[in-house]
Structure 1
Amino acid sequence: NKTFGNALISVTRLREKFYRRTENVALFELRILKEAIHEIGHTIGLEHCPNFCVMKFSNDLEDTDQKPPKFCEECANIMDIFIDNYE
């Protein structure tokens, strides 16, 4: 068994209770989803994106909450090319 790469996403700061606010499980799960998709994008070579996209840089949780949990058309096209070349 060889490991060619791995990623660790820390979720502590994605929880509302970290900031002493009322816990919101749905929001927490959505934040995890966005961060996971974002990091997967980086593993296939996507950079931060200026569009309204999951690859947009997040400087804080509000930025993460505002962006969608999906790629913009431009990033999705790059992802499609990667998948086509992989197959």
Structure 2
Amino acid sequence: MIRRPAMLRIAVSAIVLLGVVLWLDPLAVASEVQGFSLPWLALGLAISVIQMMLCAWRWRLTAGLIGVPLRFRYALGEYYLAQFINQILPGVC
């Protein structure tokens, strides 16, 4: 059985995804995606994963230096969440 917070996260994600689909023209998005080069896309994905892992490692190292235990997996998850929030929420100018 799925716990309530997990169900809420899934529901919010589905609503956001539906909002994006309704806001954008799905056919225009599909035509743009078909023009992507697979090797360049894979390289970009690999670089971004390595970047996130290095950021999480740095955060874990810094936390360890001040005596705060931090698991790498937790740090990595929090970095991905932070990047998602930074992309979704509008910035203040």
TM-score (norm 1): 0.32
Q: Could you say which structure has the greater relative contact order, defined with CA pairs below 8 angstroms and 6 or more residues apart?
A: 1
TM-score (norm 2): 0.30
Quick check: which has more Rg, 1 or 2? 2
